[in-house]
Amino acid sequence: MLQPIDAQERLRLHGVQPSAQRVAIAEYVLATDEHPSAEQVWARVRARFPMVSRATVYNTLHVLVDKGLLRELVLAEGRIVYDPKLEPHHHFVDDDSGAIHDVPWSALRVSGVDALDGLEVREHQVVLRGRKKR
């Protein structure tokens, strides 16, 4: 887990009404170093807050993305995950486990992005796939 956060305060600062369910979701997803899917968020939060609905989790995740608190990533076809780490970084997807690991921005160099003809690039990241060396 990342550093503990005051989820209620962060929600307020970003214009999100901090209901008990939203706070429970934010406490997990904004502090995790995992890259959970919405279903994983729902399962984790439901263990602590059994009355939270799947729809509330999905809706809250979309609000957190819209408010800039969370990034929504598609790192594999049909698989959306959420990342609370907003600063630039890359990702490594483990072929064996499916685990997603952060790769420091400084570990890779991508050149020529600004020279792409006719494109205005807003952001970029590299997604590496493979296995951990044994």
Query: Helix 38-48 vs helix 20-29: angle between axes, to the nearest 10 degrees?
Result: 120
The residues with which 129 forms a beta bridge, in sequence order, are 93
Sketch the domain layout of the chain as residue ranges.
7-83, 89-130
- Class at the top of the CATH hierarchy for domain 7-83: mainly alpha
The secondary element (H helix, E strand) that includes residue 3 is none
Give the global pTM. Answer: 0.86
CA 108 vs. chain centroid, Å, equals 20
Question: How would you write the pLDDT of the chain (134 residues) with one tens digit per residue?
Answer: 444 568 999 999 999 999 999 999 999 999 999 999 999 999 999 999 999 999 999 999 999 999 999 999 998 777 899 999 999 999 999 999 989 999 999 999 999 888 888 999 888 889 999 998 88
pLDDT at residue 1, as a whole number:
43
Written as one letter, the residue type at 131 is R
Query: Is the distance from CB of 83 to CB of 95 less than 8 angstroms?
Result: no
Tokens of 92: 């490594």
Query: Is the distance from CB of 64 to CB of 71 less than 8 angstroms?
Result: no
User: Who's near 98: CB < 8 A, 6+ residues apart?
Assistant: 76
Q: How many CB atoms are closer than 10 A to CB 25?
A: 27
